[in-house]
């Protein structure tokens, strides 16, 4: 999508601190981290949120979880734990309308979230 920030990051038009990349996914550090480890995992193709996922996206969604686990292990978060979350819509505080998963770790987190 022309005007989408994360599409531009995926295309390399806007710089990011890249963590991992696959054929379909990109992982990069959040520019405003809220935990010692705060990585965003996005599909390279534009999907506005999980509400726009199609049957054909099943494999890609599974790959997001596998990539999150790989990054968590790389960063030493497997034992201490981490959170993988996708904000969807206004009540959840979604601010970028390109599907993304926050991988948060490196500190204790409360539940339920605020």
Is the separation of the CB atoms in 87 and 93 below 8 Å? Answer: yes
* Structure tokens belonging to residue 28: 């990069």
Is the separation of the CB atoms in 28 and 40 below 8 Å? Answer: yes
Q: How far is the CB of 66 from ligand AMP (least distance, A)?
A: 21
Q: How far is the CB of 17 from ligand AMP (least distance, A)?
A: 8
What long-range pairs does 82-88 form, CB within 8 A, spacing at least 24? Answer: 82/37, 82/106, 83/109, 85/113, 86/49, 86/50, 88/49, 88/50, 88/51
- Asked if 93 interacts with ligand AMP (CB under 6 A), we say yes
- Asked if 31 interacts with ligand AMP (CB under 6 A), we say yes
- Asked if 95 interacts with ligand AMP (CB under 6 A), we say yes
- The gap between the terminal CA atoms of the chain, to the nearest Å, is 31
Q: What is the contact mask toward ligand AMP in residues 38 to 57, using x (rule: CB under 6 A)? A: --x-----------------
- Asked if 16 interacts with ligand AMP (CB under 6 A), we say yes
Positions marked catalytic:
100
Judged by CB under 6 A, the residue of 3, 13, 32, 59 near ligand AMP is 32
Judged by CB under 6 A, the residue of 48, 87, 106, 109 near ligand AMP is 87
């Amino acid at each position: 999508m022309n005007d989408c920030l994360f599409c531009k990051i995926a295309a390399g038009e806007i710089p990011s601190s890249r963590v991992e990349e696959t054929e379909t996914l990109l992982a990069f550090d959040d520019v405003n981290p809220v935990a010692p480890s705060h990585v965003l995992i996005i599909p390279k193709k534009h999907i506005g949120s999980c509400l726009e996922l199609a049957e054909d996206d099943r494999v890609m969604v599974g790959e997001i979880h596998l990539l999150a686990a790989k990054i968590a292990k790389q960063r030493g978060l497997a034992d201490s734990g981490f959170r993988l979350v996708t904000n969807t819509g206004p009540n959840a505080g979604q601010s970028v309308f390109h599907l993304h998963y926050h991988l948060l770790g490196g500190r204790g987190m409360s539940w339920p979230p605020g």
